[in-house]
Structure 1
């Protein structure tokens, strides 16, 4: 694989800092239907320097999905503080899971004890979009409040 400085065309992983690694492993395995690939611990002053910290110790697990990996991270040192981001705040990010059927996906969420933040919708012309009609979306959070989304994409939201 050729990698160039301007080759920002593929995402390797998204990292999610959690309060309890074991609890979050259970959640993300139930959500995705996949088992973690590994669980380990990393840290020390060299690792800390990459993040602008003095020292660090991180318990983590990796979950491999078909198109992206999820790194689940519990910072033991320094101890993490809880961030509170809603989707409308600047610098807030969310991870979106692509599904075929928004209603079936929401039913799966509810089956594992997760309630959507609000009622899911399917975009219609009245929603102000110029395209993408028929795309379904729903928002929810993980046990620590990380913003997550489901999308059943149509039109420009679908991968080419």
Structure 2
């Protein structure tokens, strides 16, 4: 049995409209969800620190991590607003080989990046990883997402 935290199983993203978010993430990943279901009740709620819950969800399996897309019927969800510099803000980063091609694909899907992509250079204060490209964008509910074309220590071994 593994006791170290060396693998990530999934990232859960709470959304306002499950159908809309399924369409977004399927288009982004270029693959269909693995399943769609609902879960809830007091046992599920207590593990989350809630009184009761009902969650409609879908699972999207990527090569190295799963995305759980969650729409809470109960309790009623509220909109969180996080920008990347805020404490406890998180983002999900997709690894790509060609950042320019990936941005072109975003544009085809009607998704606009938050700003212009950057490619790390020596002037950015890095000791390695030159040529790594990154760009940020958001899903339909404002979840922070990133694309990275990694080089050097940012590349997966």
TM-score by length of 1: 0.97
- Structure 2 equivalent of residue 29 of structure 1: 26
- Structure 2 equivalent of residue 157 of structure 1: 154
Aligned residue for 1:80, secondary structure, equals: coil
**Which segments of 5 or more consecutive residues in structure 1 lack a partner in the other structure?**
none
Q: Which residue, 52, 55, 62 being the options, matches 2:59? A: 62
Shift of 1:126: 1.5
Q: Is 1:3 the counterpart of 2:2 in the alignment?
A: yes
Shift of 1:128: 1.5
Deviations 1:15-65 (A, max 9, x none): 000000000000000000010000000000110000000000000000000
Q: Which residue, 72, 77, 92 being the options, matches 1:75? A: 72
Q: Which residue, 125, 133, 136 being the options, matches 1:128? A: 125
Aligned residue for 1:59, secondary structure, equals: strand
**Which segments of 5 or more consecutive residues in structure 2 lack a partner in the other structure?**
none
- Structure 2 equivalent of residue 144 of structure 1: 141
Shift of 1:3: 2.0
TM-score by length of 2: 0.99
Q: Which residue, 91, 96, 101 being the options, matches 1:94? A: 91
Shift of 1:127: 1.5
Distance 1:82 1:128 in 2: 36
Shift of 1:129: 1.1
Moved more, 133-142 or 120-129: 120-129
RMSD: 0.6
